[in-house]
Structure formats: structure tokens, C-alpha cells
Structure 1
Amino acid sequence: MSNLINRYGKVLSTYILFSLTLWLSIFIIFPQALMVEYSFWKYDETAQQKLWEETDKLDAKRYELEKKLEENPQDKKIEQQINKLSRQIEKNDLLSQEPPKIYTDENYEYLLTNTLHRSIFFKTIWSSILVTVLAFIVCYPIAYYLAHVASKKGKIFIFLGLIIPYWVDELLRTFAWFMILSFNGIINNILISFGLIETPIDFFQNNSAALIGMVYAYILFMLFPIYNTLETLDKNQILAARDLGASWFTIHKKIIIPYAKPGIAVGSIFVFMLTAGTYAVPSILGGTKGLWFTQIIYSWFFDGGNWNQGSAYGIALLVLCILFIVLMLKLFKVKLEDMSK
């Protein structure tokens, strides 16, 4: 705190801390805390049913008293009983509109016991890991080329070629891949024209289209962190290794990849979390067998109207993503301060 005040002064430091606290509270802590609270309760439908049954009995009793009051209009006791029953019925109606909450872990138990949802959950995680690995395989050579081989003009053209397609909306890019990978798409036509296949490949039923689409969608989130790290690598280390007779494989294994660990960790975290949390790409390119876990969460919230179950599924996905972050930091032996460099 004292360092912050010495650098920016009291007024600006107070503004920075206030803005940071407000940002964390409104956009991070409060929404997640609300989802956690929702995930641990459900409506007591049994109590609601009892209220409805009790209300029906009270209504029937009031109907009988109203008949008696028609026969004896001057009977004040019957009138008082009717008024009392009416108040109780109104109270029950209000209570039945919002049933009492029961705090339980049943929403999480449902995920563990539902075989279909559990398999989709693990398929989503495995596919996200696979997309992360594929993105690294594609991006690492490009990042190294940009950092240590390409000329200044070459970098400009390559960066433009990478960035310009992302000026187009993600949905349009995804639909473009849908047309490319379709039965009559470019890829199937090329494979058939070269005689490599006889009938078109259904990329949408074997999850290939979704994987390709997600690698393409999030490739820059892997490329730039690795490039930013490799750009700071001293080329003299590579030249010295070459002079000492090291092969390119050894140089990359012993020098370049270890140096690029912070960038690889950041890129892996970005790509994994974006892939695990995506909705549009698997919805368009996933086919009938490409159901993604986020689609189930969406269905709980908007189709089933069960926000509690949807919150539990969302928190389960969030916890696993956090565990993945911790795993990446441990695997690459990277600290959080290293990732910010």
C-alpha cells in the first residue's frame, strides 16, 4: 500500500483500490457467490403441495360457511370465520407462489449419478484438453518463426493474416467452417478428387468438426502468449547451442521450450477455459453426437427453468477449470508473477 501511495499519490491510489474492489465485487465475487448459493438449495415441492392441499380444504370449508351465511345472513360468527379463512387462503396463496428453500447437495449429486451428463462432462474436459494440445502444436512453430526467424515485413504480413479473420464475427467464422467441412464442402471435394476417399466424410458425427472449429476459434490465445515469451529469449543462447553441436530438437527441448513455459502455461489456460466454456462452436459444428456441457447448463437455465441445477453444473465446471489452472502452474513450474511478465 505504501509503495502504491509513493508511486501514484493518495488520491490516485485510493481511486485505483476503489475501482479494483468494485470490479472484483460486482463482476467476479458477487456473481460467483450467487451461483454457489443457488447451487446448494432447491424449492421444497412437498411443502408447496401441502400448502395447495390445505388451501383446497380451506376453500371448501369457506364455501360451506358461505352457504350457511346465505341461510343466516345475520350470523356474525359465520362471517368472522369466513373472513379468517379468506385471510389464511390469501396467505397460503402467497406462500405457494414462492415455496420454501431446502439447502442440500442434491443438485451436485444429480450430476454424479446422471450417467449421460457425467459422460458429457468428462467428454467436454477431455476434448478441451485435446484442443489445447492441438493449439499448442499448431502455434509453437508459428510463434518461434515470428519471434526469431521472420523479418519485420514478414511479421507484419503474418500478423495481418492471423488477425484479419478475427475481425469477422465468431458465428460467421463458425458457419464458414460448417460449409468447409460439410458433405459438399471443400475438404470432402478435394479428398474425393484426389481419390483418397470414395464417399464424403461426416466430420460432424465424430467430433472432428467441433475440434477443428475450436482450435481455429482460440488459436490466437495460444499463439500470442508463446510469442511474447519467445521474443524476449536471447538469440545468442540458440547460436551458442548450435556452435556446440546441439541438434534443433535438443535446442527446443533444453532451451526454447523451458524458456517459453510461462507463455505455454498462459496459452493453455486461456484455450482450455475458453473451449470448456464455449457454446456456439459445438452447437453449430458438434452434430447430433457433439453435445457440450455448456449446452446442458444452458438447457437447465432456459429450457428447464431450473436455475439451481444449472448453477450446480456451472460451479462444477468452474471448479474443474480452476483445478486445471493449478495443474498447469504445477506442471510447468510457473508462478502467477511469472505469467504476468
Structure 2
Amino acid sequence: MKKPMIFSQFFKNNGAVMGSALIGLVAFWLIFLIILPQLSMLDYSFRYNLPPAEVGGPKDVYTLSNYEHLIYGSDSSHQTYNTVDLKVFMRTILAAMLVTIFNIFLCYPLAYFLGQSKGSGFVRLLVVLLIIPYWINEILRAFALRIIFGDSGLLNEALMFLHLTSAPIDFIRQDIALYAGLGYAYILLMLFPMYNVIESLDRNQIEAARDMGASWLHIHRRIVIPYAKPGIVSGATMVFMLSAGALAAPQILGGPSSLWFTQLVYQWFNDSLNWQQGAAYAIVLLVSTIVIVLTVMRVFKVNMGDIGK
């Protein structure tokens, strides 16, 4: 009975025509832009890379060889592991986790400040200043960060001017520029979900806790963080998924040894023209990130309904 009531209330609020149009657009977006392309990618991942003339013929059958290649490489006897690609995959997942954790610690104090300031003029100005840099294309921002972190960039020049270092630091080779670029690229996706939740927190709860002698640590641990948990998980989900699937930032800001898993996918699709192998790698990355996100949501006892509020 609950679902029909939700739909009837939805049509009552939006009208029959507008409600139907909204549902139709969402259905089109889900089916034709997400579900069907992913199903096509899944089908590709179980196929052999055949010449066009043999596609649909007797050799065009399903196989697990594309997934086995990620684990064993070109070793058909399965005696050795594909350590290169597996290390790249694990490093990508771990780096995406680190970027997500970094953004949580960076954005939580700012989100709390913005959420508890009750929309003052300074807060509105601060939000605008946070948004304006994102009017610039992501690739241009990545190149700007590469210039900043370069050997003769602004950061190295400032460090040497302050005599904090005697020689330029190779931020590119040490992957510092890459992690900073990924954190910066998706910081608003972490900030605003936290801000939206914390803004609705009743300040009287905090004042009551302070009147009872609770420290700021206990206030945040017992009141603010549990209340903001859906926003934190929502932001962490978006930052983690986008960081693991990033391509522009690793291509521009990554060092020689910082190959990203999405770069392997790109190479299979565009350099090797092996769409089947590239699809298998893409599916592995997609499924792995979804499993990690669902596991984290289960550990922190957050469901999809909480995130969607």
C-alpha cells in the first residue's frame, strides 16, 4: 500500500502531465543511458576479440578468458599471476580510499561551520567562492595544478623562497600532485551532502550538550557525526566512485609509476582496439567499487533511503 500512496502523492503534487513526463525522463535516463550500455558492456566482456567478419559466427561464443587475463595475464596454463595489472588495480582502489578519507577530514569542519552559520552573508560569499573555480573545465584545472606542482611551479618556488627546501620537490613523481588533484576535483561532492544534512541539525541539541558540560569532541562524536552520517556516506560514495574511475587527472597529474586502472581500460579500448578485454576490466572495476560501497554502508548502518533524503 505504501508504494501506490507514494505515486499518487507524487502525481497529486506535480500533476498528471508533469508527473508522467518526469517519470518518463527518469526511466529514459536509467534504461537507455545506464542499464542498456552496462548490459552491452557486460556482454562484450564475455566475448572473444574477433575480426568483424567472424562476429556472429561459430567462434563468437561466451568465454571467461578476458577476466582470466586480469588474473593470469597471457599465461594460458594459469601458473603465474598478472602482477602488473593486479597491482595497478589494488593501487587504484587504495588511492581512491585515501582520497575519500582525506576529503572527509577536510570537508567535515567546513561543512559544520557552513551548516551552523545559518546562511549569513559571509557564508553565502564563501559558498560562491567555493563554486566559482568549478566553472573551469576539469582538464584545464588539472593542467593548472600540474603547473603549480611542477619543478618550477608556484609551490616549489614558494618553498625555496621560504628556505624550506634547497631543491625542487618532485610532486609529480611522488604522486602528491595526483592525490591533491583528485581530492580537489571532487571536494564539493563531499562538502555539500555534509552541509545539507548538518544545516538541518537543531542547534538546541548542541547548546543543551554544552550546557551539560559535554566537550566538543563528545558533541561531534555523539550528536553531529551520527546525524550527518547519511551525508558523509553519500559524499564518500561519490568521491570514491569518481576517484576510482578518474582518467583525466591520472593522465595529466600522474607520475611514471602511477598508472591508474582506468588508463588500462583506455589502452585496451583505444590503443589495442580490444573492446572485449577493456569491457572486462571496466566491469571488474565497476563491480568492485559497488561491493566496497555497499560493504561500507552496511558497516556504518546506512541504507539507500537515508542517502536519498
Same fold (TM over 0.5): yes
Alignment check: 8 A CA contact 2:49 2:275 kept: no
Answer yes or no: is the 8 Å Cα contact 1:42–1:102 preserved in 2. yes
* 1:22 match: 28
1:109 aligns with 68
Residue identity in the other structure for 2:26: L
What residue in structure 2 maps to residue 306 of structure 1?
274
Measure the CA separation in 1 of the matches of 2:133 and 2:67.
40
Q: 1:31 to 1:205 in 2, by over 3 A?
A: same
Q: Distance in 1 between the 2:180 and 2:18 partners?
A: 46
Q: Confirm or deny: 8 A CA contact 1:262 1:332 kept in the other structure.
A: no
Correspondence list, 1:124-139, <5 A:
124-139=92-107
Alignment check: 8 A CA contact 2:49 2:274 kept: no
**Paired position in structure 2 for 1:279:** 247
* Contact persistence 2:265–2:282 (CA under 8 A): yes
**1:200 and 1:323, CA in 2 relative to 1: closer, same or farther beyond 3 A?**
same
Write 1 or 2 for the structure with the bigger share of helix.
1
Residue pair 2:54, 2:60 contacting (<8 A) in 1 also? no
2:120 is aligned to: 152
Are the structure 2 counterparts of residues 244 and 5 from structure 1 closer, same or farther at C-alpha, using a change threshold of 3 Å?
A: closer
* Aligned residue in 1 for 2:75: none
**Distance verdict in 2 for CA 1:98–1:289, change over 3 Å:** farther
**C-alpha distance in structure 1 between counterparts of 2:230 and 2:185, whole Å:** 22
Distance 1:249 1:5, change over 3 A: closer
| Structure 2 unmatched runs, 5+ | 73-81
Residue deviations 1:71-130, cap 9 Å, x none? xxxxxxxxxxxxxxxxxxxxxx95599783131111111111221111001100000000
TM-score by length of 1: 0.81
- Bigger CA drift: 248-257 or 6-15? 6-15
Alignment of 1:202 with 2:208, yes or no, is no
150, 164, 171: which one aligns with 1:182: 150
In 1: Cα distance, 2:111 partner to 2:49 partner:
52
**1:42 corresponds to:** 48
Deviation for aligned residue 1:334: 1.0
Q: Aligned residues: percent identity? A: 44
Offset, 1:10: 5.7
Does the 8 Å CA contact 2:45/2:279 hold for their aligned counterparts? Answer: yes
Amino acid at match of 1:244: M
Q: 1:14 offset after TM fit, Å?
A: 4.7
Residue type matched to 1:270 in 2?
Answer: M
**Distance in 1 between the 2:130 and 2:194 partners?**
15
d(CA) in 2 for partners of 1:27, 1:94? 29
Q: Matched residue of 1:38: which SS?
A: helix
Q: Distance in 2 between matches of 1:42 and 1:204?
A: 38
Aligned-partner Cα distance in 2 for 1:109–1:156: 53
| Paired residues of 1:43 and 1:100 also in contact (CA < 8 A) | no
Structure 1 unaligned spans of 5+: 49-92
Cα separation, partners in 2 of 1:157 and 1:100, compared to 1, 3 Å: same
Q: Which amino acid aligns with 1:25?
A: I
Q: RMSD value over aligned CA atoms? A: 2.1
Whole-angstrom CA distance in 1 between matches of 2:53 and 2:299: 55
Matched, 1:336 2:295: no
Secondary structure at 1:245 match in 2: coil
Q: After superposing the two structures, state which structure 1 stretch, 134-143 or 320-329, moved more.
A: 320-329
TM-score by length of 2: 0.89
